[in-house]
Amino acid sequence: MTHKCEFCNEKIAEDEMGKIEGTMIKVKDKENKNELHYICGECQKKGKTKEMLTKKK
């Protein structure tokens, strides 16, 4: 399964074991359910974190 970065919309690569080469962040929505957000390694290096995701909404 391919995932796209929330910020740059580029595909996140997977290794041979099926793990993504980036990060997956869980953020609670208004109904107190977890939303999964995928971030690539490059955006993660730039400091785009959980706080940036909550500001985006």
Mean residue pLDDT of the chain comes to 83
- 18: its two tokens: 């099926």
Q: What's the domain range around 52?
A: 3-56
Structural domain tally of the chain? 1
Q: How many CB atoms lie within 10 A of CB 50?
A: 12
Residue among 20, 3, 7 at smallest CA distance from 51 = 7
Is the pTM of the predicted complex or chain greater than 0.85?
A: no
Task: Check pLDDT > 70 for residue 9.
Answer: yes
